Amino acid sequence: MCMKLHEAIENYIHYISVIDQKALTTITNYKNDLTQYETYMTSRNFCDVEAIAYKEIEAFIQEQALSKKTNSINRMIVSIRNFHFYVTYNFPSIANPAMHVKLSKKANKLPSFLNESDLDMFIGSFDDKKDVDLYQHAIIEVMYGCGLRVSEVCNLQMNQLHLQQGIIKAIGKGNKERLIPINQHAIDCLQLYFDGPRVLWNTKKLQYVFINQRGNRLTRQYVHTMIKKKLTELDLQDAISAHSFRHSFATHLLNGGADLRSVQELLGHSDISTTQIYTHIQSDRLKQEYLHAMNKKKR
């Protein structure tokens, strides 16, 4: 009995959505990757899972590598490997052709972040007397002050805030919850926003923390566009993105003496190796300070 590739992929997407309950973003990524995989295979008459061999998968990956970045390729490889593992686990008679497909090597790129003076300039540029500026200011204070992902800020709800206790509950990837302290600057800014524009704008009585002028929930696109516009106004580096505020949060904590394990918990990283990238930033900074000091001595 042959298993159709299309049917097998549909079953797998159902499994990760309903049984495994992966995050919505993860499900979307897997679905997109496997749709491209299916299109490639069926166009070459590999319509049954059993017909696909290692060399076909390698050919697909090589073709994708012509137009995609390493991160996207590696995510696609993970999608394919997990799919074939699922099929073989449930149907042992079907071999796993993706078992030995290896991830592409990538450069250990350091994340971009704002130094403390640039961050102060960015945050200080908002005029809290203007409703839109106050709204944007509150978004940045929470995103940086708690090290949140953009999606976590957009999905933040009122019952996740415990401002009297100085804590918020973030819900991250895989619906994992974590408690994060929130600083007084962010609390004060939120209170001004709650007492002002949010009261006027929340005509639909939504429970999301950040409501825009149309009464809708904050979107990721708005955050990215707002930050890029502000960077241009202030003539700050183009490499900074919305995610850079999360990187800045982690970097400034480590520079202030926080230990790596605590930063890992605050960021919601499941693996500390993900958090260790920030130690490279510290090493680079210390190296620059050392070279600067030695050069001054030579003069």
Q: Is the pTM of this model over 0.85?
A: no
The answer to whether residue 246 is catalytic is yes
218 and 153 Cβ atoms separated by less than 8 Å? yes
- What is the phi/psi pair of residue 181, to 5°? -65, 145
What pLDDT is stored for residue 106 in this prediction?
62
pLDDT band at 294; cut points 50, 70, 90 = low
Taking the C-alpha atoms of residue 264 and residue 262, their distance in angstroms, rounded to an integer, is 5
Taking the C-alpha atoms of residue 131 and residue 73, their distance in angstroms, rounded to an integer, is 43
The answer to whether residue 149 is catalytic is yes
Taking the C-alpha atoms of residue 149 and residue 266, their distance in angstroms, rounded to an integer, is 11
Beta strands 167-171 and 177-181: pairing type? antiparallel
Q: Name the active-site residue from 75, 137, 149, 217.
A: 149
Q: Name the active-site residue from 6, 68, 169, 173.
A: 173
- Please give the mean pLDDT across all residues of the chain: 90
CA angle 220, 225, 227 (to 5 degrees): 100
Taking the C-alpha atoms of residue 284 and residue 223, their distance in angstroms, rounded to an integer, is 29
Taking the C-alpha atoms of residue 117 and residue 121, their distance in angstroms, rounded to an integer, is 6
The arithmetic mean of pLDDT across residues 13-40, rounded, is 93
Which among 99, 133, 119 has a CA at the least distance from the CA of 231?
119
The region of weakest confidence among 35-39, 144-148, 290-294 is 290-294
Taking the C-alpha atoms of residue 229 and residue 107, their distance in angstroms, rounded to an integer, is 29
What pLDDT is stored for residue 65 in this prediction?
87
The answer to whether residue 81 is catalytic is no
133 has which bridge partners? Answer: none
What pLDDT is stored for residue 107 in this prediction?
52
pLDDT band at 288; cut points 50, 70, 90 = low
Distance from chain centroid for Cα 1 = 42
Q: Name the active-site residue from 22, 81, 198, 269.
A: 269
The answer to whether residue 173 is catalytic is yes
The answer to whether residue 278 is catalytic is yes
Q: Name the active-site residue from 68, 228, 243, 285.
A: 243
What pLDDT is stored for residue 281 in this prediction?
59
What pLDDT is stored for residue 282 in this prediction?
57
181 has which bridge partners? Answer: 167
The answer to whether residue 214 is catalytic is no
CB atoms within 10 A of CB 193: 25
Q: What percent of the chain has pLDDT over 70?
A: 91
Q: Name the active-site residue from 84, 198, 246, 247.
A: 246
